[in-house]
Amino acid sequence: MRPTLCLLEDPLAERIVSEARDVLATLGVEVHHDGVLNLLADHGADVDRAARRARLPAALVDRALAAVPHAFRLFDAAGEPTHDFSGWNVHFTPGSAAIRLLDGATGALRAPVTADYVRYARLVAGLPHYAAQSTAFIPADVPAAISDSYRLFLSLLHGEKPVITGAFTAEAFAVMHDLLLAARGSDAALRERPLALFTCCPTSPLQWSEATVSNLVDCARAGIPVEVVAVPFSGFLAPVTLVGTLVQHAAENLSGVVIAQLAAPGTSLLWGCSAAIFDIRTETAPLGAVETMMLACGANEVGRRLGMPTQAYIALSDAKALDAQAGLETGAGAVLAALSGINSVSGPGMLDLENAQSLEKLVVDHEACGMALRLVAGIEPRDDFPARPLLEELLREKHLLIAAHTRRHLAGQIRFPGPVIDRAPEARWQEEGALTLGARATREVERIVAAWQPSRLGDDAKRALLRRMEAAARAAGLDALPVRVEA
Amino acid sequence: MDLLTRIANEVRAGEPDAVRALAAEALAAGVAPAEVLRGGLIAGMTVVGDAFRLREIFLPDVLLAARAMQSGLEVLRPQLAAGGVPTAGRVVLGTVRGDLHDIGKNLVGILLGGAGFDVIDLGVDVPPERFVDSAVEHGAAVIGISALLTTTMVGMREVVALVRERGLADRIKVIVGGAPLTEAFAREIGADGYAYDAASAVGRVKQLVGAA
């Protein structure tokens, strides 16, 4: 039996969806894009152009939900499937778009640079519980105009895993699309085997900015999957109640589903969530709050009810260091996400209210993800009945360490964590240097980065990536890309 | 690859049937049984022991290798009988008086056996006198005592005291271990050695045998 978590009873989930539909039909959404307003009007929305507001009738929402795929997959640079966004499958991805990096050597939060990103990409390549790489942080040594495409470029150059990413401007999409085409080889191949998934976030309450809605439409028309991720803050930019926030979240997400399906029916979408509570004491939106995690899990249940695969920002922490708070918030989130069956979990590695990434934390969080995945594999009988013969063998042999049953099932039953998790007797721990978690994580980062092997992406594709990125850099006023690293 | 190397490799792989067959083949080919033992079985176990010490392999791998080695020894034993099977030393093992928890003690016994020691396992809840009497009777160089409980581990002190009282401390060494123990406790009761797990116990016993 796969263990599960359920926070919303059926009637409540149904009511949340029906209230969201009502909100869209009566209040509508504000869309800062004339073309999208035209698209909505052409398909039956009641559009007030002066107010840039579109009211979406129930029939329009129904048509969109009928068109959206119930499942889809992502593929790595070699074309192998990595993600099956369906059912209760859970995939973990590092959190994305941090502006700072926790420096493993100094413990300081600082602006990351290209060399950090290369180390990150190589690290994630060696951590199997992360099915995807994300464009995890923003290198500060390139102009802001290319900071989004440059992250994607480095990820495609150094890693094979598909990339969870996003564009900061409408214009950046073209460059990023070109990079994906260069890596995959053709438009048809990219559509058939998506190599990236873009994040598009409506703005609370009930708005779409020009840049984000442009990205949403551009992705849909290019056949690139999107996670639509509403970001309402309970008690600030959304009702303080979790149910009220989920209603608003659902309305905002549904508007994205409608726009994407009108732009290109059948566009693959994840029902995403980055809803959070608002902490009035610190004036922040904490991702490690239990209510924020409940919103993520609740939104997942709403998405599941609508027949869509899901995503959420969860399994991350608001701590500023790799400390106990970081562990407890991330671990709790990873477990709740896995029990909820959130198909794409974005968060590991993140600290400081989604502002900072940490390579060392990525290594530690990788273990939390592994634990969560083991948890949801559940307890299943494995040659256990009748029980007597094996217990007879135990009494006879005094142990079962090398019993055939043990050898057959050890790997599937017991998950052995990596060296960042300390399970040694105290004396052995002392003998091996009495290393703290931080020291063990630092050592493991170095080991994995050193063991990195170049991507199987062909040399022609790598050269094409480089040419496209150099052209974008020149257009942004940068004569040469920062330190070139062998890929 | 010569026969002895193949035997060593099969010991490392934990394949008893292959080791048995290759040992017989070696004897049939005229290789001396002591050479099969030294260059095949012990050579294989030495590699396994080193890898275990370096945490490259784990307890079950060692046990499988030990079982494979034993299958080879069975083939050699009739021809080695005249001179006896060479051992690394003899060790008396048991849990301290009042303690019925024998998992750790059993693991140590298995690993010592795999490392070539002759193990006399006295079982659980062993009185101090029996530890010492058995060591004398079997000519053991080491007594190994295990405890799981803080309430029973204090009884280890009595075994150490009895060894000294009988004037045996120069030829019988006492090593202690178990979850609640520490190096400091071992020193405090006057034990000759302490091991925090089964893997480290083998190395400590080897040191003690050399010192006994």
Inter-residue long-range contacts of A275-283, CB under 8 Å, 24+ positions, other chains counted: A275/A230, A275/A231, A275/A232, A275/A233, A275/A234, A275/A238, A275/A245, A275/A246, A275/A249, A275/A299, A276/A231, A276/A233, A276/A234, A277/A233, A277/A234, A277/A235, A278/A233, A278/A234, A278/A235, A278/A236, A278/A237, A280/A235
User: Is B60's CB within 8 Å of A425's CB?
Assistant: no
pLDDT for A427 equals 87
pLDDT for B26 equals 96
- For chain B, the structural domain boundaries read 3-80, 89-211
* pLDDT more than 90, % of chain B: 66
pLDDT for A454 equals 95
User: Is B183's CB within 8 Å of A401's CB?
Assistant: no
Chain A residues whose beta carbon lies within 8 Å of the beta carbon of residue B182 = 426-427
**Does the beta carbon of B54 lie under 8 angstroms from any beta carbon of chain A?**
no
pLDDT tens figures, B148-163: 999 999 999 999 999 9
pLDDT tens figures, A287-339: 999 999 999 999 999 999 999 999 999 999 999 999 999 999 999 999 999 99
Chain A residues whose beta carbon lies within 8 Å of the beta carbon of residue B124 = none
Phi, psi torsion values for A95, nearest 5 degrees? -60, 160
Residues 6+ apart with CB under 8 A from A5: A297, A336, A339, A340
Identify which of B64, B110, B183 has the shortest CB distance to residue A427.
B183
Q: A437 is written with which tokens?
A: 């978690």
pLDDT for B85 equals 67
- Best mutation target among A394, A396, A399 (most B Cβ atoms within 10 Å) is A399
CA-based nearest residue in chain B for residue A419: B55
CATH number for the domain whose boundaries are A1-379+433-487: 3.20.20.480
| Secondary structure element (H or E) that encloses residue B147, with its range | none
Do residues A382 and A413 touch, judged by C-beta distance below 8 A? yes
Whether the predicted pLDDT of B11 surpasses 90: yes
Phi, psi torsion values for A296, nearest 5 degrees? -60, -45
CA nearest A110: which of A98, A120, A95, A121? Answer: A98
pLDDT for B211 equals 54
Residue A368 DSSP SS3: helix
Whether the predicted pLDDT of B51 surpasses 80: yes
User: Is A407's CB within 8 Å of B60's CB?
Assistant: yes
Is the dihedral angle over the CA atoms B138, B189, B109, B32 positive or is it negative? Answer: negative
pLDDT for B131 equals 98
CA-based nearest residue in chain B for residue A416: B58
> For chain A, how many residues are written?
487
Stated pTM of the model: 0.90
Domain with residues B89-211, CATH architecture = 3-Layer(aba) Sandwich (3.40)
Chain A residues whose beta carbon lies within 8 Å of the beta carbon of residue B183 = 427
Once rounded to an integer, what is the mean pLDDT over residues B99-118?
A: 85
Determine the distance in angstroms separating the CA of B60 from the nearest CA of chain A, rounded to an integer.
Answer: 6
Whether the predicted pLDDT of B200 surpasses 90: no
pLDDT under 70: residue ranges of chain A: 483-487
CA gap A262, A243 in Å, rounded: 28
CA nearest A129: which of A330, A322, A406, A275? Answer: A330
Which residue in this structure is represented by tokens 């005249």? B82
pLDDT for A375 equals 98
Measured in Å, how far apart are chain A's first and last C-alpha atoms?
A: 43
pLDDT tens figures, A350-383: 999 999 999 999 999 999 999 999 999 999 999 9
User: Is B106's CB within 8 Å of A425's CB?
Assistant: no
- For domain B3-80, the question of CATH label 1.10.1240.10 is answered with yes
- For chain A, the structural domain boundaries read 1-379+433-487
User: Is B60's CB within 8 Å of A410's CB?
Assistant: yes
Poorest-pLDDT segment among A2-6, A324-328, B4-8, B179-183: B179-183
What letter does residue B42 receive in the DSSP assignment?
I
CA-based nearest residue in chain B for residue A400: B60
pLDDT for B79 equals 85
pLDDT for B84 equals 67
pLDDT for B50 equals 84
CA gap A227, A198 in Å, rounded: 6
Identify which of A398, A399, A427 has the shortest CB distance to residue B196.
A427
Chain A residues whose beta carbon lies within 8 Å of the beta carbon of residue B67 = 402
Determine the distance in angstroms separating the CA of A430 from the nearest CA of chain B, rounded to an integer.
Answer: 11
State ipTM. 0.77
Do residues B71 and B13 touch, judged by C-beta distance below 8 A? no
pLDDT for A486 equals 60
Q: How many CB pairs under 8 A join A and B?
A: 30
Rg (CA), chain A: 23
